[in-house]
Amino acid sequence: MQLLGEPSAGLAEIAAWRRGHGYAAPWRDELVSVATSGGRIIGCVERAVVRNLGIATQAVQLHGCVQGSDQYWLQQRVR
């Protein structure tokens, strides 16, 4: 596959169009890297459109406990 033009700029145009037409999740002003299946980063796009564009993402969940206590720390996920 050959990319024509700068991927991030093209993705930004698509994201803006989707936002303007009501086809995006709540806007976060958060850019997410877009990578090939081999892991090479080729650009970035607003997080609000990654799902409806079918772009795979990676995430880390953090959980912990306080030593010597029955208290736990759980990360609150943003939706």
Do the domain assignments include residue 2? no
Contacts of 65 (CB under 8 A, 6+ apart): 71, 72, 73
- Segment 29-52 mean pLDDT: 92
Give the CA-trace dihedral at 57, 22, 27, 50, to 10 degrees.
10
Do the domain assignments include residue 1? no
What's the whole-model pTM score? 0.70
Boundaries of domain holding 53: 7-74
**Residue 68 backbone class (left: φ over 0; alpha: ψ -120 to 50; beta: rest):** left
Q: What is the pLDDT of residues 1-29, one digit of tens each?
A: 565 778 999 999 999 999 999 999 999 99
Do the domain assignments include residue 79? no
Contact 62, 75 (CB under 8 A): yes
Give the CA-trace dihedral at 50, 31, 36, 2, to 10 degrees.
90
What's the structural domain count of the chain?
A: 1
